[in-house]
Structure 1
C-alpha cells in the first residue's frame, strides 16, 4: 500500500493545498464523510475542512451525496487523474500557442547585436540547426567551419544555397555554391549574410578600419526579405555573366550613384 505522506506530497505537486490533499485522502479511505467527521479524523479545524471541501467540490474532486446531511464522497482516482491529465494537456497546448504569439510579436521588432568573430560563428551555427526548409548564405568565410551543421541539415533535406565572390572551399559539403572565384578575396573572411527559412536573418562583417566583427540578428520580415533578395540577385547576375560571357552591368545600366562610385 502506498504511503499516505507520499500520496499527500504528490497531490500537492498537482496544485492541492495541504488541507485539500489530506481531506481527499481521508474521503478515499472512508468512502463518505461529512465535514465534522473529516475534521475529527484529521484533527484540524472544521472551518479549514469546510473551506477545503468547498474548493474540492468546485474543482470536481469531491461531490455531495443526495440529501440534507452534507455527506461528501471522493471522485474515483482513475477518473480524477485522467481528468487532470486532459486539463493539463489542454492548458499546456493553449499556453504554447499564446507564448509563441508573444514571442513572434516581440521578435519582429527586435534587433540583436553580436560582437566578435567567435560569437558570430556560434550564432550562425545555432541558426543553421533550426532551419527546416532553406538556407541562403553570402559569405567569404571558410565553409568547412560549418560542415557539421551542413551535414545535419542534409539529413533533414534542408536546401543550402551559397553565394560568394571568393574562391570558397565547398569540397564534400552538401551545398549549392555559386561563386566568382576571386582570388583577391580568398581567405579574408570579412563578411557573412544568412537567411533561414525566409524568417530569420543575420548580417555581420569586419570593416576596413575595424578589426572586430560586428553583426545583427533579427526576425524582422522586411530586413529578411531584403537580404534574401540581395543573395538571389547576386546569383542571378553571376549566372547571366556565365551565360553571356561578360558582365552585363555596364555604364548604360549604372545610375552613377555614390554607392557605385565609392
Structure 2
C-alpha cells in the first residue's frame, strides 16, 4: 500500500474521517493556508472544506488566524497531535475497562470453567495471561511447549514473578523450576504431552497440547480446582526432590518402589 494511503487509513482508525485526514496531512506539508487553497491541494471538495476545517478546529487539530487577506489555518504539531490522541484513548480505555468490569462482575454468580481449542489459540492465550501475572506462576511443562512460552516466562521472571514447578526436557532455563527426574523414561513412555499453568492462584489452564489444532485445554477460575491442580504439581515436585536427595542403592530402592506403586495402581 502507498505510504500516503496507509497514513490516511491509520488516521481514520484514530477517529478522523477521510476528508479530515486529507486536510490535516496536507496542512502539515504547507501552512498557513486558507480554505480555498487547502481544498485545491488536499482533494477535499470546496463545498466541504469549511465544514471539515470547523470539525478539525473543534478537535483542536488545526488553529485559525485572521490576516488582511482573510482566515488562514495552521496544523497542530504532530508530537502534540499524538500526545492528544494517546490521552483521549487512555481516557476511553479506562472508562470502558471500568464499565465493562462492572457489567461483567454483576453476572458472576459462580466460578466457571471453559474449553480452549487449537494449539495456536491456546498458546496465544497462555502468553497473554503469563504477561499479566503479578506474583506467581506454577507450571508443569514439556520442552516443546516451553519454546512457545519462553519469552513470556523469562520476561515474567525478570520482572520478579516467582515461577515454580516441573520441566520435562533437557534445556531448562527457569531458575526455580525443577527438571523432572528419569526424563528418558518419561519421554519414551508418554505418547501425548500435557501442560499446567496456574497464574497468581487465580486461574489455571490444564490439558493436552500435543494434538496440533485439535488440542484442548480447560481454563478455570474455580479455587477448588486450582488447589487440586497446584497440589498435583507440588506432589510431583516433592517426589522428584526426595528422589534427587538419595543416591546409590537408596535411590534405586525408592525408584523401584515408586514403579511398583505406579504399576499396581494402573493394573
The TM-score, its normalising length taken from structure 2, stands at 0.52
Sort the Cα spacing of 1:221 and 1:211 in 2 relative to 1 into closer, same or farther, 3 A. same
Secondary structure at 1:180 match in 2:
coil
Sort the Cα spacing of 1:128 and 1:97 in 2 relative to 1 into closer, same or farther, 3 A. closer
Q: For residue 179 of structure 1, what is the aligned residue in structure 2?
A: 180
Q: For residue 214 of structure 2, what is the aligned residue in structure 1?
A: 212
Q: For residue 148 of structure 1, what is the aligned residue in structure 2?
A: 151
- Answer yes or no: is the 8 Å Cα contact 2:118–2:213 preserved in 1: no
Q: How does 1:65-104 map to 2 (within 5 A)?
A: 98-99=102-103, 101-102=105-106
Q: For residue 196 of structure 1, what is the aligned residue in structure 2?
A: 199
Structure 1 position 131, deviation (Å): 0.7
Q: For residue 261 of structure 1, what is the aligned residue in structure 2?
A: 266
Secondary structure at 1:183 match in 2:
helix
Structure 1 position 125, deviation (Å): 1.2
Q: Which sections of structure 2, spanning at least 5 residues, go unmatched?
A: 1-53, 60-94
Spell out, residue by residue over 1:102-137, the C-alpha distance to the aligned partner (whole angstroms, 9 max, x if none). Answer: 37x35x532111122222222221221111111011
Separation in 1, partners of 2:102, 2:172: 42
Separation in 2, partners of 1:127, 1:155: 16
| Residue correspondences, number | 173
Separation in 2, partners of 1:184, 1:244: 19
Sort the Cα spacing of 1:149 and 1:189 in 2 relative to 1 into closer, same or farther, 3 A. farther
Sort the Cα spacing of 1:146 and 1:211 in 2 relative to 1 into closer, same or farther, 3 A. closer
Separation in 2, partners of 1:93, 1:115: 26
Separation in 1, partners of 2:180, 2:112: 32
Structure number with greater Rg is 1
Separation in 2, partners of 1:93, 1:212: 33
**Which of the residues 220, 224, 238 maps onto 1:236?**
238
Q: For residue 126 of structure 1, what is the aligned residue in structure 2?
A: 128
Separation in 1, partners of 2:149, 2:257: 36
Structure 1 position 221, deviation (Å): 0.8
- Answer yes or no: is the 8 Å Cα contact 2:172–2:179 preserved in 1: no
| Aligned residues: CA RMSD | 4.1
Secondary structure at 1:202 match in 2:
strand
Q: For residue 225 of structure 2, what is the aligned residue in structure 1?
A: 223
Q: Which sections of structure 1, spanning at least 5 residues, go unmatched?
A: 11-90
- Answer yes or no: is the 8 Å Cα contact 1:167–1:181 preserved in 2: no
